[in-house]
């Protein structure tokens, strides 16, 4: 099953992926900062992610890949 | 859909601001280079502006040009190495203000290169000044009361202008504001490179883009501003496509 | 095999460039270098090269930048006002360590100036071919044969040192016809261009041609490295001609077309028993300091002769450094001095 994988350290917390996810599964983690100082995006429910890749298509930092 | 980092992008982390659409367009160009299998024969020309460091991000050979001169530099490369795929990556100030003459004349000559033109209606690198594509009443640091058409004139419509030139083979304006448009943008970029490989002449893809930092908007709000304000002035669409005209 | 032909300076320069492997020429029409471009336009397509008329001097020099980045031998030519337009590009060429040849057939200035021969771009050529810390090698031939030889040398030096090289001529040299022999031109060994942007072929890391270094430490290191190369150029590549400098009391210093006038004046002075010699710089950058330094110990005075209000004279003064008076005589605006006019200047200064 394909899943979106988030590279936390490349993320700049822009939130474009949050808007792109058709299932509204992506959120910025407001409780954490990555090494760049941003709230990183992550998938809140990997079970429900079907790896459609729309989040990755909107990511300006290639922080999201879709893998098996 | 499996999405992985394209080979034509280096591992260097992009310096762009959060939500800047340069990163999306970089990825699309790299994906197209991968899919066409041309990385080994591609030479890119970076502009002056926010994407000046593009030479660090693309894995193909790269040249950094003086401000506005990327089309002339690309001409030199292409004439020296016609077997190479040559592209420029330019912003609105670079392409449509200081480099207007160079831009117009690669169209006039039908220079067999591809231009990726990022239009976000503002100067990003210098901190948000008026661009040649800044729209009427748009506030920038040098049009603090909004762009006055009486004082500053009108925004330049690049695709429309280049489409009038006989040497322009392909001119399309796309946007990267949403998934659907990102996919269309990639298709246009692929078409532009393909037409170069077929020796058709100048191909240009104008990409409506955002500048969240200098527009003073959050990234998603900037996308909405693009849709509401830029798209009516700069309509998306194909302005020239000689491959269609040939097949008629 | 010897093959003497009669050619104009401008055409001989173009022919010499093609013969030493210049395959690409980008230019914009301007008097008085037009014959050079026209010769290229006629010959390049027949000989497998490219002549392309650009939309401006600025575009032409940036096409040169592109072609040089792609590893071919490339040239552009212009005259004074056009060179001013090219200076942005030349600065980038210097900053990107790109080899190319730029010809300036000087005319009078400033501004649109005139179209007659001048040497008033000496400062620009040797001091400020664009912004930033940097130089281009500047060659100043005085005969059409020397035009041929220095053109070939220019391409070789450009490749060896990875630098733009300027051939600084003038309208007179470009227009004059003299017999030349292409067989006699010396050649240098040049390194391979493994830095060029020709496509990686997926066999090597990508090459980057660039002049931007955002970290000041990096830029300083790079400029210092470039200046180490300049020091080598200064030590090894300075060229000049000396005549009658064994017993000389008054040393004429002149380059290019003016050196020919100076030679005639020197010979007239010698006939009158005056101990006049000549130092003719062939490289203007690097400036040939050696002969002038040596003569500073023995000569009574120096007279720098130029078609300007006095530019090279400052380099002469820097070398002589107060050890003897350095005078200047020049004409400007496109006017040439006659040998008799110069002889009068010599006689006056020698108290005759």
The domain that holds B135 is classified in CATH as 3.40.50.970
Mutation to test the A interface, candidates B1, B3, B30, B31, most A Cβ within 10 Å = B3
When computed from its CA atoms, the radius of gyration of chain B, rounded to whole angstroms, is 17
Residue found under tokens 């004429």: C252
Q: Is residue B11 domain-resident?
A: no
Q: Are C49 and C23 in contact (CB under 8 A)?
A: yes
- In angstroms, how far apart are the furthest CA atoms of chain A? 32
- The answer to whether residue A68 scores a pLDDT higher than 80 is no
Q: Is residue B12 domain-resident?
A: no
Q: Are C307 and C258 in contact (CB under 8 A)?
A: yes
Q: Is residue B94 domain-resident?
A: yes
Q: Domain limits at B100? A: 22-247
Q: Is the pTM above the cut of 0.95?
A: yes
- Domains parsed from chain C with CATH numbers: 4-236 (3.40.50.970), 241-349 (3.40.50.920)
Closest Cβ opposite residue B19 in set A16, A52, A65: A16
Q: Are A40 and B1 in contact (CB under 8 A)?
A: no
Q: Is residue B7 domain-resident?
A: no
User: Are residues B223 and A19, on separate chains, in Cβ contact within 8 Å?
Assistant: yes
Q: Are A66 and A53 in contact (CB under 8 A)?
A: yes
Enumerate neighbours of A (3 or more CB pairs within 8 A).
B
Q: Is A18 on the interface with B (CB under 8 A)?
A: yes
DSSP character for C116? S
What's the burial of B184, exposed, middle or buried (CB within 10 Å: 0-12/13-18/19+)? middle
CA distances from C51 to C20, C22, C99 (A): 16, 11, 18
Would you state the pLDDT for residue A67? 82
Would you state the pLDDT for residue C352? 73
Q: Is residue B101 domain-resident?
A: yes
Quick one: tokens of B197?
Answer: 């490989």
352 residues of chain C, pLDDT tens digit each:
567 999 999 999 999 999 999 999 999 999 999 999 999 999 999 999 999 999 999 999 999 999 999 999 999 999 999 999 999 999 999 999 999 999 999 999 999 999 999 999 999 999 999 999 999 999 999 999 999 999 999 999 999 999 999 999 988 999 999 999 998 788 999 999 999 999 999 999 999 999 999 999 999 999 999 999 999 999 999 999 999 999 999 999 999 999 999 999 999 999 999 999 999 999 999 999 999 999 999 999 999 999 999 999 999 999 999 999 999 999 999 999 999 999 999 999 998 7
Low-confidence ranges of chain B (pLDDT < 70): 1-2, 248
> Quick one: CA dihedral B186, B188, B191, B195, positive or negative?
negative
In sequence order, the 6+-apart residues with CB closer than 8 A to the CB of B87 are B29, B42, B43, B44, B45, B74, B113, B114, B115, B116, B193, B196
Spatial CA neighbour of C343 closest among C253, C268, C242, C238: C268
Q: Is residue B1 domain-resident?
A: no
The total number of structural domains that make up chain B? 1
Spatial CA neighbour of B135 closest among B121, B152, B118: B121
Residues of B in contact with C212 (CB under 8 A): 52-53, 64
Closest Cβ opposite residue A57 in set B179, B220, B223: B179
Would you state the pLDDT for residue B1? 52
Would you state the pLDDT for residue C274? 97
Would you state the pLDDT for residue B31? 98
Domain map of chain A by residue range? 3-67
CA distances from B22 to B91, B124, C3, C43, C120 (A): 10, 11, 59, 44, 46
Q: Domain A3-67 adopts which CATH fold?
A: Alpha-Beta Plaits (3.30.70)
pLDDT tens sequence across B141-190: 999 999 999 999 999 999 999 999 999 999 999 999 999 999 999 999 99
How crowded is residue B161: how many other Cβ atoms within 10 Å of its Cβ? Answer: 17
Please spell the DSSP secondary structure of C184-230, one letter per residue: G---------TTS-S--TTSSPPPEE-----SHHHHHHHHHHHHHHH
Q: Are B175 and B236 in contact (CB under 8 A)?
A: yes
Would you state the pLDDT for residue C1? 56
The CB-side HSE value for B53 (13 A sphere, CA atoms) comes to 15
């Amino acid at each position: 099953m394909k899943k979106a994988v988030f590279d936390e350290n490349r993320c700049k917390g822009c939130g474009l992926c949050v808007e792109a996810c058709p299932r509204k599964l992506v959120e910025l983690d407001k409780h954490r900062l990555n090494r760049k100082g941003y709230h990183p995006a992550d998938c809140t429910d990997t079970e429900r992610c079907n790896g459609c890749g729309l989040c990755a298509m909107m990511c300006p930092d290639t922080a999201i890949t879709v893998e098996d | 859909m499996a999405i992985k980092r394209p080979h034509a992008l280096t591992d260097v982390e992009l310096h762009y601001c959060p939500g800047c659409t340069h990163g999306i367009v970089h990825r699309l160009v790299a994906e197209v280079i991968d899919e066409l299998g041309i990385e080994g024969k591609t030479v890119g020309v970076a502009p002056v502006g926010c994407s000046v460091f593009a030479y660090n991000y693309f894995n193909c050979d790269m040249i950094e040009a003086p401000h506005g001169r990327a089309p002339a530099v690309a001409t030199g490369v292409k004439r020296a190495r016609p077997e190479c795929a040559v592209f420029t990556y330019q912003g609105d100030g670079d392409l449509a203000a200081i480099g207007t003459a160079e831009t117009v004349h690669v169209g006039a000559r039908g220079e067999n290169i591809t231009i990726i033109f990022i239009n976000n209606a503002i100067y990003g690198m210098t901190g948000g000044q008026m661009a040649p594509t800044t729209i009427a009443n748009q506030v920038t640091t040098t049009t603090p009361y909004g762009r006055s058409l009486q004082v500053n004139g009108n925004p330049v419509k690049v695709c429309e202008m280049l489409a009038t030139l006989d040497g322009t083979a392909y001119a399309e304006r796309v946007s990267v504001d949403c998934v659907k448009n990102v996919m269309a943008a990639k298709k246009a970029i692929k078409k532009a490179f393909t037409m170069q490989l077929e020796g058709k002449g100048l191909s240009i893809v104008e990409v409506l883009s955002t500048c969240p930092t200098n527009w003073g908007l959050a990234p998603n709000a900037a996308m909405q501003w693009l849709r509401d304000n830029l798209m009516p002035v700069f309509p998306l669409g194909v302005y020239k496509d000689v491959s269609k005209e040939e097949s008629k | 095999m010897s093959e003497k032909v009669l050619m104009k300076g401008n055409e001989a320069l173009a022919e010499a460039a093609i013969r030493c492997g210049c395959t690409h020429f980008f230019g914009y029409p301007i008097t008085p270098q037009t014959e050079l471009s026209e010769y290229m336009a006629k010959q390049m397509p027949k000989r497998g090269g490219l002549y392309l008329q650009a939309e401006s001097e600025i575009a032409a020099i940036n096409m040169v930048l592109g072609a040089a980045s792609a590893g071919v031998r490339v040239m552009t030519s212009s005259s004074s006002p056009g060179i001013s337009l090219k200076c942005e590009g030349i600065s980038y060429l210097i900053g990107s360590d790109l080899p190319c040849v730029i010809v300036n057939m000087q005319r009078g200035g400033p501004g649109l100036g005139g179209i007659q021969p001048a040497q008033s771009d000496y400062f620009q050529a040797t001091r400020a071919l664009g912004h930033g810390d940097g130089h281009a090698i500047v060659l100043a031939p005085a005969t059409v044969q020397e035009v041929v030889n220095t053109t070939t040398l220019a391409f070789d030096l450009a490749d060896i040192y990875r630098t733009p090289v300027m051939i600084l001529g003038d309208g007179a040299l470009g227009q004059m016809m003299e017999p030349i022999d292409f067989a006699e031109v010396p050649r240098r060994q040049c390194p391979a261009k493994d830095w060029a942007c020709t496509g990686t072929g997926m066999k090597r890391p990508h090459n980057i041609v660039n002049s931007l270094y955002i970290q000041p430490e990096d830029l300083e290191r790079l400029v210092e490295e470039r200046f180490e190369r300049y020091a080598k150029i200064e030590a090894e590549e300075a060229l000049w001609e000396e005549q009658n400098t064994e017993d000389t009391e008054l040393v004429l210093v002149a380059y290019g077309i003016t050196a020919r006038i100076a030679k005639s004046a020197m010979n007239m002075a010698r006939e009158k028993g005056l101990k006049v010699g000549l130092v003719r710089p062939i490289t203007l950058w690097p400036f040939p300091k050696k002969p002038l330094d040596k003569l500073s110990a023995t000569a009574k005075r120096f007279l720098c002769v130029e078609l300007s209000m006095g530019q090279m004279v400052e380099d002469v003064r820097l070398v002589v450094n107060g050890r003897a008076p350095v005078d200047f005589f020049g004409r400007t605006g496109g006017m040439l001095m006659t040998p008799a006019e110069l002889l009068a200047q010599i006689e006056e200064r020698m108290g005759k």
